[in-house]
Amino acid sequence: MNVLVLNCGSSSLKYQLIDMNTRSVLAKGICEKIGIEGSSLTHKPTGKEQLVVNQPMPDHKAAVKLVMDALLDKKYGVVKSMNEIQAVGHRVLHGGKFYSGSILINDDVKRVIRECFDLGPLHNPANLIGIEACESLMGSTPQVAVFDTAFHQTMPEKAYLYALPYEYYEKYAIRKYGFHGTSHWYVSGRAIEFGKLDKKKSKVIVAHLGNGASISAVVGGKCVDTSMGLTPLEGLVMGTRSGDIDPAVVQYIANKEKRSVDDVLNILNKKSGVLGISGVSSDFRDLEAAAKSGNKLAQTAFDVFVYRVAKYIGSYVAAMNGVDAIAFTAGLGENNGAARKAICDYLGYLGIKLSAKKNQIRGEEVVISTPASKVKVLVIPTNEELAIAMETVKIVKKLKK
């Protein structure tokens, strides 16, 4: 079965066409600057030359059309007709409290995605346009929604409830939802499998450390807590996001700088995090280079980031009353051994011992702790596209039964 995985961001669309019989990627690519001047498609068919199309894309529908054309193209294409794509899996940001799993898309599902526009204002509208574009271009091909929030729906009330007047939860569904769910699900599952942990009882912490960063506590394969909240702003320090701060800071900056709450939220989302502290970059590679050449604030930003991750790990060990494994994933978690070491240096009290040699291995699943370590530490490369395709196949197979 060939599954097309679509991930529509606010102004981008990432895609992969995966042959699920062999789990191989037939083609992948990205449309950038959708709705903005200078939009382009970069299409990478496996084993063929890449195609770059610079062409205006006024909306996500135009982008989906361009992707389909590329997939079917005589020279750069990988399928001969649309019938060779048997299903589409959509990454959808917010499913509110309505979905705790992936679901076949119908009118009800689209209504819920629409109802969650307020909760995911940048992504949910783009996700819905992507879905409707596929409906109009692909007719009855089954489409599945895989929600970023779904894996975290098993959190207990004590973890997801904010200590606000309860009526706000009842009236507006204000609570912690959590994000990066597909990655936390995939990586915790692989950590249990690869780390040979008990499927029902193991206590795993997943640290998804990329430009966006989040952490989750998973008991027996089910999420019991996670760091992101109502929106992906809460929790860890990120590339450009502040993560946890005293909410009074918002009012304080608004008053001092004579800015609106929306403006301050924009600062917390786009101009804060390691970029905000360092003034150098949101990319940890730039930060590392700047720190090495003596930029003190770049080093401080790295230290603040690492410290926050270590504190969250400590709090999740307390929440689960123990931990069997910690799994690092995403751009930084997979590639930056120095960050992993710095985080684990805080965790000596847990009996964690890293193998300096194993901590250098890249691009594969690996246990980076020594056999003497009381907690297994792993690197598990995340694969959100494959996870979405796996979910899609699961739902479509049920449909056929």
Closest to ligand AMP by CB, 192 or 330: 330
The site for ligand AMP, by CB under 6 A, has a size of: 11
Residue 211 interacting with ligand AMP (CB under 6 A): yes
Residue 292 interacting with ligand AMP (CB under 6 A): no
Q: Shortest approach of ligand AMP to residue 287 CB, angstroms?
A: 8
Binding span for ligand AMP by CB under 6 A among 44-52, 79-87, 141-149, 283-291: 283-291
Q: Shortest approach of ligand AMP to residue 401 CB, angstroms?
A: 36
Q: Shortest approach of ligand AMP to residue 149 CB, angstroms?
A: 18
Catalytic residue among 19, 69, 108, 148: 148
Q: Shortest approach of ligand AMP to residue 284 CB, angstroms?
A: 4
Residue 92 in contact with residue 127, Cβ under 8 Å? yes
Beta bridge partners of 2: 19
Closest to ligand AMP by CB, 76 or 151: 151
Residue 336 interacting with ligand AMP (CB under 6 A): yes
* CA distance linking residue 91 with residue 283, whole number of Å: 24
Q: Figure out which of the listed residues 77, 239, 273, 381 binds ligand AMP, where binding follows CB under 6 A.
A: 239
Binding span for ligand AMP by CB under 6 A among 44-52, 282-290, 314-322, 390-398: 282-290
List the structure tokens of 92: 């959808």
Q: Shortest approach of ligand AMP to residue 333 CB, angstroms?
A: 8
Closest to ligand AMP by CB, 1 or 289: 289
Residue 271 in contact with residue 240, Cβ under 8 Å? yes
Residue 210 interacting with ligand AMP (CB under 6 A): yes
Q: Figure out which of the listed residues 17, 25, 204, 330 binds ligand AMP, where binding follows CB under 6 A.
A: 330
* CA distance linking residue 234 with residue 241, whole number of Å: 8
Binding span for ligand AMP by CB under 6 A among 105-113, 262-270, 280-288, 373-381: 280-288
Residue 102 interacting with ligand AMP (CB under 6 A): no
Report the relative pairing of strands 24-32 and 51-54 from DSSP bridges: unpaired
Closest to ligand AMP by CB, 96 or 243: 243
148 is an active site residue: yes
Q: Shortest approach of ligand AMP to residue 183 CB, angstroms?
A: 9
Q: What is the dihedral of CA 279, 210, 174, 158, to 10 degrees?
A: -120
Diameter over CA atoms, the chain: 62
Q: Which of 339, 336, 340, 330 is nearest to 382 (CA)?
A: 330
Closest to ligand AMP by CB, 102 or 336: 336
Q: Figure out which of the listed residues 205, 332, 366, 387 binds ligand AMP, where binding follows CB under 6 A.
A: 332
Binding span for ligand AMP by CB under 6 A among 35-43, 243-251, 279-287, 303-311: 279-287
Q: Figure out which of the listed residues 76, 151, 160, 284 binds ligand AMP, where binding follows CB under 6 A.
A: 284
Binding span for ligand AMP by CB under 6 A among 62-70, 100-108, 169-177, 330-338: 330-338
* CA distance linking residue 35 with residue 29, whole number of Å: 18
Binding site for ligand AMP (CB under 6 A): 210-211, 239, 283-285, 330-332, 335-336
Q: Which residues are catalytic?
A: 148
